[in-house]
Structure 1
Amino acid sequence: MFIQTESTPNPATLKFLPGRTVLELGTADFPSAEAAQKSPLARRLFAVEGVTGVFFGTDFITVTKAEGLAWDHLKPALLGAIMEHFQSGAAVIEGEGAPTGGHAMHDTEDEAIVSQIKELLDTRVRPAVAQDGGDITFHGFDRGVVYLHMQGACAGCPSSTLTLKMGIENLLRHYIPEVVEVRPVAA
């Protein structure tokens, strides 16, 4: 098994490409070891000292490390954990209700606007963000303000504010005049 790695815009996060499907559908975000209890793979990764976050996409895994640790020291252990997991044949996520990253429901008079926002996020934003090892999902819309949840490499990324303001906010404002601002939300 050959696992490729890619850097991400977030220096604390590294993207691993195992060359096989990680999740059939959606994404899964594990911002802590406690959140990883349903995932044997995430538990293995959190067992590596210094891991502070794990995120799964359809064909990638991103791992976030604690500040002050070098990737040169963590990377071999993470590669080993990923390889061991896939060779074991264990499920990536166990049981029902496996996390599938997606947009929050929003049932209000703004349903048409929210539908447009979600469509733009799905077609223009999320594919590009997945290339960087993360995901951005719709969280809410209130009086012209769009609230987005940033996951994986996007969470805590130094350039995420710039991405939100200069990229996503400008895109949404261009196509949807009702949008006046974009703000991130915490998990």
Structure 2
Amino acid sequence: MKNITINIQPTTKPTIVKFEANIFLTKHESFEFQNIEEAGRSPLAQQLFHLPFVKKVYIAQNFVAIEKYNIVHWKDVQQEISEQIESFLNSGGTVVTPPKEEVKKIPVTVYAESTPNPTVMKFVSNKKLVLQSVEFKNIDEAKNAPLAKALFHFPFVKEVFIDENYLSIMKFDIAEWEEITQELREFMREYLEQGKDVLLDDSEQPSSTKNKEETPVKEIELDDISKEIVAILDEYIKPAVASDGGNILFESYDQDQKLVKVILQGACSGCPSSTITLKNGIETMLKDMLAGRVERVEAVNG
């Protein structure tokens, strides 16, 4: 039995609600079905069209969106639909069957961005790659990540960090970015266009990444101040470091020392400017917003 969960998300259109899964449902493709006949390739959409109020079904990457007729209110039916989709997916139901003819390449664009870390380049895709960040320090950790594993076969690739729609690569000093950026960009674009997997199984990521991402931020294990710190990091800090190809995770809070420890990933890990960012940016913000409760911020891997 799988452990797929569905999160209900309203949209700007009152007749449409999104049902987001914690896994990918399609490989970079999206589908729109107007009726049950059009949904011949999608057993999930066909099942949903048996509900008399379903007008249209959209399926894309990690969500199903449903447009309804006005004969019902979403508040009366959305929980039931969420449970129905969840049950369908957990029982191994097929979302969309592959076409009989040869699969066409999926149009994908990948562009490169420099980061504050001179050893790291950020490669941004127009497609979502993962649902949560993952970091690989070597090829052994990438055994369930085919894209990262393939990248480690380039002799100049040292570390790989993937988050949402971008991938940050840390290189060895044996090559300069101007010599290898185009080669990496084209490799990733072709890889994604062929519809190949980025990750095989979200549940089997390297423990060094999974534990840092999940265990420390489980709210049930955090005190009130730690929850405030996590909220501040998520709202104010993460978007900024993500734009530079990195990530920051909460590790711990020591109330006696008024010390916050964080984990730096991607371009932030080993970056010459990360100390300045910690002291002038993150530490200053936490000291201002949590006056008297935070005095220092340290990176456990910085």
Instruction: State TM-score, norm by structure 2.
Output: 0.58
The alignment-based identity, stated in percent, is 33
Q: Does 1:121 align with 2:256?
A: no
d(CA) in 1 for partners of 2:219, 2:147: 35
d(CA) in 2 for partners of 1:167, 1:152: 18
1:35 to 122, 141, 151: 141
Over alpha carbons, which structure has the higher Rg? Answer: 2
Partner residue, 2:293: 178
Amino acid of the structure 1 residue aligned with 2:193: Q
Amino acid of the structure 2 residue aligned with 1:180: E
Equivalent position SS for 1:162: helix
User: CA-atom RMSD, angstroms?
Assistant: 2.1
Which stretch shows the higher mean deviation, 115-124 or 137-146? 137-146
| Structure 1 residues not aligned, in runs of 5+ | none
Partner residue, 1:49: 155
On the 8 A contact 1:12/1:66 being kept in 2, the answer is: yes
1:146 to 260, 263, 267: 260
Instruction: State TM-score, norm by structure 1.
Output: 0.91
Equivalent position SS for 2:141: helix
Amino acid of the structure 2 residue aligned with 1:77: E
Give the Å deviation of 1:68. Answer: 4.2
| Structure 2 residues not aligned, in runs of 5+ | 1-107
Amino acid of the structure 2 residue aligned with 1:115: K
Aligned residues: 186
Give the Å deviation of 1:2. Answer: 2.8
d(CA) in 2 for partners of 1:5, 1:174: 35
Matched ranges for 1:78-117 at <5 A: 78-99=184-205, 102=213, 104-105=216-217, 111-117=223-229
Partner residue, 1:164: 278
Change (3 A) 1:108 1:84: closer
Q: Does 1:19 align with 2:129?
A: no
Answer 1 or 2: higher relative contact order, Cα 8 Å, separation at least 6.
1
d(CA) in 1 for partners of 2:222, 2:201: 35
Give the Å deviation of 1:83. Answer: 2.0
Give the Å deviation of 1:15. Answer: 0.6
Give the Å deviation of 1:88. Answer: 2.6
Equivalent position SS for 2:286: helix
